Amino acid sequence: MRATTPRKKLNTPHLQILANAEPPEKYTAAHIAPHREADIRPHGTLAAACPIGYATTMRMNIAQEAAIGVIGGSGLYEMEGIGEFSGLTIHTPFGEPSDKIVSGRIAGRKVCFLPRHGGGHRLLPHEINHRANIWALRSLGVRWLISVTAVGSLREEFKPRDIVLPDQMIDRTGTGAKHTFFGNGIAAHVGFADPYCNDLRRRLLASARLYAPAAHDGGTYLCMNGPAFSTRAEAAMHRMMGADLIGMTNAPESRLCREAEIACAALALVTDYDCWKEDEQPVEVEAVVENLNANSSLAKRIVREVIAMIPEYPDSPAHRALDTALFTPRAMWPAKAAQDLAPILGRFG
């Protein structure tokens, strides 16, 4: 809850944070005092909804501690075991993220947790502001993202309550214009042949198999528009297309992570057989929630375990995705577009 007592305006060379307690003399978003909420806004403005200080982010981007992000999906709205935590409200040039970001430490590593659908599951898939979510995480130094996601199974061998680490994707959302950071004078086309970071995926698989030995290695995730579930004809078509899993959120997250040079992997929790399997009931919310509740504590254990396996220095190919993706020469970038993308393009000067 935000405090109701008057707040001080705290100016530093970097960020302006509205809070009740004095922060350290020099800080970044990563250094906010433990167990305190903060509202991060640009230096020198009192606008009600505006992004973190862009020029500052551009200078600080490389020096930030590389953090690990966790986006929790249906059934995973919080992450226990985070020490020294702060609740951060981040304002972005793309609007508001799904919720406050909980930033803290697990196994000595900086971890940032965000509930994809907001606390209490308030947002439908098409209402999620994926750009704001990924921008906010990147502004806090996130370089790896574990995306915990509920999925339907399109294959007999992927049973409800199984865990799958997908390695491929089919995007049928048709909303690509909403799911890119680029445009407005800066053109970029990232490689997306392998949508998930193999390095992170292998570590997540190793962690999963400590608790779920039958965790499946690989599979094709198909992303559809919701909020309604598939028709039987659609489910049959998706199977013919070669999809193994179906969900409504992971394609935009993965695409935006690649543009933001965040290594991303999905921990897919199977909840149902969609509606293709004639001897099973078609998917219903009640069954989805029941299976998610059964798997959520397992998913949290897997995530906590993998954090200690992730390297401290970001050195996967995904962390250099923009090296060969930017078309527009740096000298031609519009100032406003460059400022808006400071957390992502900061290393380019």
The candidate with the shortest Cα–Cα distance to 251, out of 147, 323, 118, 341, is 147
Q: How many CB atoms lie within 10 A of CB 332?
A: 10
- How far apart CA 298 and CA 73 sit, in angstroms, is 14
Structure tokens at 326: 């930017």
274 is catalytic: yes
Identify whether the C-beta of residue 146 lies closer than 8 Å to the C-beta of residue 301: no
- Exactly one of 274, 315, 323, 340 is catalytic; name it: 274
Q: Which amino acid is at 156?
A: E
Structure tokens at 95: 């609007």
- How far apart CA 131 and CA 250 sit, in angstroms, is 13
Q: Which amino acid is at 155?
A: R
The candidate with the shortest Cα–Cα distance to 97, out of 67, 63, 124, 132, is 132
- Exactly one of 217, 272, 279, 315 is catalytic; name it: 272
User: Which of the residues are catalytic?
Assistant: 272, 274
